[in-house]
Amino acid sequence: MSEIAIKAEGLGKAYRIGALQNRKSDIRDVLTSIIASPFRKIGSVLKGNPEGVAGWNETMWALRDISFEIHRGDVVGIIGRNGAGKSTLLKILARITDPTEGRAEVHGRLGSLLEVGTGFHKELTGRENIFLSGSILGMQRYEIKRAFDEIVAFAQVEKFVDTPVKHYSSGMYLRLAFSVAAHLEPDILLIDEVLAVGDLQFQKKCLGKMEDVARQGRTVLFVSHNLGSVQELCERGILLHHGQLKMVDTANACVAAYVESLHQDELPPNSTNKALQLGAVHIANSDAEGLFLDQPLEIGLKIRANKVENPRFFVIVENFNGVQVLHEVVNTEDLGTHTLDGDFTLRVSWPALWLTPGVYSVYFKVLTHGSRESQNRVFSDKAVLQILGRDAHNVRAMLQPETRWELN
């Protein structure tokens, strides 16, 4: 087994809701609070709240009972909805905040980019901040000097390296902060969602640099809502939900579980049309790992109908951002009938979809009752479709068709 880089055991982080609202702004407020505190306590008890002032002792757990191990050289994506506890977890690992319970072990030199310019002093120049950040990481001056030119070139701040960073634009600030975090040879690199601040070209550049860091055998923890980047960069994943650890598995498996959980709330509710009931969507030839992009695809849907006339069926494929990459429709009369009555199976198939490897969702929509005003929409549940690639090179386009080139 490879050496452990990070180990979390029963990590939890709690915050007091209302504590900030009750903070006093000056000495007069503090003295007033001290004098009034016993009377508030008595009043609170008389009102049936023996814990004290309302809201002060209400606790919110941002993380609870988080345990996992990350080995040296692992590239791990941390995903989950807003408020899942992703950033809180990284702050605990970076020693920015202490856990309320449990413990975390971090073995090795750690570099982090959790907020834009974390650790920078605004009055210092870019050059001075590079050396300051390196010193905080425990690097020798000659080590920082060796990486200095590469840091500046990557950040594209050559003309401003001797200007105080308080005069930098947010883009310059971000580029320099990431460049410092990635180039000063940390054993463990923590990256939060801050890459979303940069433009598309800079995001691609950062992803390429993180791939380089990973290939050098260093450990990378990457928090992002860009599931495509997580799948492209990471081998393993951690899925958080409302501060709880839901899954530690491959990045693809975690993304698939996350997408499935998102889709449970996204579809409009099925109508009350009792004449038409849709079963689960079944992907016929997909195994547990998924389906290769050049394989045939067949999707099935069980239908129970009670004299439904002229329904129209739509099959829809969406990527993880909710963008429809396929939307096809068929009229029942094209299938050889005008009225559905009884139990049926609808099958849709393609020789291959040639979608870029990733996680997609498939579902059906049915329109009944002819006229637009009286149309009744019935939706099936969504099924998760995992598309696998045949090679290791990175593909950023949505489609990856079999293409023939000729030069005459």
Does some domain include residue 402?
no
Of 202-206, 234-238, 292-296, 370-374, the least confident: 370-374
Q: Determine the average pLDDT of the residues in 49-66.
A: 69
- The model carries a pTM of 0.65
pLDDT for residue 387: 84
- Domain housing 290: 267-388
CATH number at residue 104: 3.40.50.300
- Asked whether residue 392 carries a pLDDT value surpassing 50, the answer given is no
pLDDT confidence of 24, banded at 50, 70, 90?
A: very low
Alpha helix stretches (DSSP H) within 279-379: none
Does some domain include residue 408?
no
What is the DSSP-derived secondary structure letter of residue 399?
B
Question: Coil, strand or helix: which one is 276?
Answer: strand
pLDDT confidence of 329, banded at 50, 70, 90?
A: very high
- Which element (helix H / strand E) includes 329? strand 324-331
Question: Coil, strand or helix: which one is 74?
Answer: coil
Task: Take residue 172 and report the two structure tokens written for it.
Answer: 């310059």
Asked whether residue 242 falls in the same domain as residue 279, the answer is no
The last residue of one of the domains, among 208, 243, 262, is 262
- Asked whether residue 22 carries a pLDDT value surpassing 60, the answer given is no
CATH number at residue 377: 2.70.50.60
Taking residue 357's Cβ as centre, other Cβ atoms within 10 Å add up to: 20
Asked whether residue 39 falls in the same domain as residue 67, the answer is no
